[in-house]
Amino acid sequence: MSTTLPRPTKLDPLDMLDLDADFTSDERLIRDTVRDFTRRRILPNIADWFERGVFPKELALELGELGLLGMHLDGYGCAGTSGTAYGIACRELEAADSGLRSFVSVQGSLAMFPIHAYGSEEQKREWLPRMARGEAIGCFGLTEYDHGSDPSGMRTVARRDGGDYVLDGSKAWITNGGVADVAVVWARTNPDDGPKSGAVRGFVVPAGTKGFSTKNIERKISLRASVTSELLFENCRVPASAILPGVASMRGPLSCLSEARYGILWGALGAARACYEAALEYAKTRVQFDKPIASFQLTQQKLVDMMLELQKGQLLATAIGRLKDAGTIAPQHVSMGKLNNVREALAICREARTILGASGITLEYPVIRHMNNLESVLTYEGTSEVHTLILGQALTGIGAFS
């Protein structure tokens, strides 16, 4: 019997278990391409964009050129990658900034996905190829000021009038709203308007439609490099062909949210990795009491705990990605990933901030930017509390929402 001695392994502090080695060569290529793009194009500028509160609209074309918009959808100019590849791209985009990943998530998962899944052939042909190229920007209007975690109580209505629908109401906190060329808007139809009426329906509303306007939400201190807006509908008349024919219930918007949350559970790992990496480098070079602060046991414990949570989060993301690719994913799996990975990513960013001391509160380092961004990520696409209740219901069979 021969014994094989273990080969010495070179440990990478950013991926101790070499988890990325499990990705396919295509997935690794996507990782490297997105990482290279963010290093060249985003990282040198992002602190400035964040400080000024802008998202340069021309990035849409560059993201389209890279094939990242609607990348996990098939046909109509979309790349048709695996769900895992989409997750990896989200991770690398969010390692640069959550605002950048939000742009790609909203475009692909919240605006293109409903048109792809529930749209008419004309709607698909009209919008998807342009949106995949980044020539048309989309947004997704579900939340209202009075209806956030419980969007089914929405007040925005769509009234049938001859061959048209007339939209009235408003949406709040809508990513990309003020820069969008097209909005996918969810509204309750009038119960007296015939078959399927009274249900929540999706409408594809181009910017510039009479009665549709937007107003940006200013003075945010989170996700500053991302446009967040109100959508206002006042006697806004759209043809019946603007309705998404394939769904007539809250299943429509909720299925879109499940797609976008899936990207978030990967993306949060990118933000956390960037903070861990910054803290690790800083700790090795910052000297106090005549020693690098990395030599102190308390600092090492912080770094080790960050690394452990990052690797566990990656294992979770990869497992959920493989379920998605196998077609066996359930919304509860996505809740597991979103709840755990965003919560732990935020904890990692906060701990990294302490290692950087006073330097950690400036935009010279990425840490406080990521930390502030993740406060939004914790809330949107289902708050931590909502995902906890979804999982609580899955475990006990008892809904505790109301």
Ligand X SMILES: Cc1cc2nc3c(=O)[nH]c(=O)nc-3n(C[C@H](O)[C@H](O)[C@H](O)COP(=O)(O)OP(=O)(O)OC[C@H]3O[C@@H](n4cnc5c(N)ncnc54)[C@H](O)[C@@H]3O)c2cc1C
Tell me the window of 3-11, 42-50, 128-136, 376-384 that interacts with ligand X (CB under 6 A).
376-384
Please report which helix (H) or strand (E) contains residue 57, including its range.
none
381 among known catalytic residues: yes
In the three-class reduction of DSSP (H, G, I as helix; E, B as strand; rest coil), residue 207 is classed as coil
> By CB under 6 A, is residue 174 in contact with ligand X?
yes
By CB under 6 A, residue 152 contacts ligand X: no
Nearest to ligand X of 174, 278 (CB atom): 174
Q: Is 399 in the site for ligand X (CB under 6 A)?
A: no
φ/ψ (deg, to 5) at 292:
-60, 140
Instruction: Specify the amino acid at residue 332.
Output: Q
Minimum CB distance to ligand X smaller for 103 or for 282? 103
Nearer to ligand X, 90 or 310 (CB): 90
Q: How far is CA 354 from the centre of its chain?
A: 26
Q: Are strands 182-189 and 138-141 parallel, antiparallel or unpaired?
A: parallel
Rg of the Cα atoms in the chain: 22
Question: Smallest Cα–Cα separation from 343: which of 391, 396, 278?
Answer: 391
User: By CB under 6 A, is residue 386 in contact with ligand X?
Assistant: yes
CB of 152 to ligand X, least distance (A): 12
Decide: is 385 part of the binding site for ligand X (CB under 6 A): yes
Coil, helix or strand at residue 366: coil
- DSSP single-letter state for residue 209: -
The DSSP-derived string for 136-198 is S-EEEE--BTTBSS-GGG---EEEEETTEEEEEEEEEEEETGGG-SEEEEEEEEPTTSSTTTT
- Our finding on whether 383 is near ligand X (CB under 6 A) is yes
> Looking at beta carbons, which residue is closest to ligand X?
148
Catalytic, out of 144, 259, 344, 381: 381
Ramachandran quadrant class, 372 (left: phi over 0; alpha: psi -120 to 50; beta: rest): alpha
Q: Is 15 left (phi over 0), alpha (psi -120 to 50) or beta?
A: beta
Site for ligand X in 114-143 (CB under 6 A): 140-143
- Residue 106 binds to ligand X (criterion: CB under 6 A): yes
Stretch that binds ligand X, among 31-39, 76-84, 113-121, 168-176 (CB under 6 A): 168-176
130 vs 387, beta carbon nearer ligand X: 387
Q: Which of 379, 391, 393, 394 binds ligand X (CB under 6 A)?
A: 379
Among 149, 235, 288, 301, binds ligand X (CB under 6 A): 149
Told to check if 376 binds ligand X by CB under 6 A, we report yes
Q: 102 near 228, Cβ under 8 Å?
A: no
The catalytic residues are: 381
Which residues of the chain form contacts with ligand X (CB under 6 A)?
106, 140-143, 148-149, 173-175, 223, 228, 376, 379-381, 383, 385-386, 389, 401
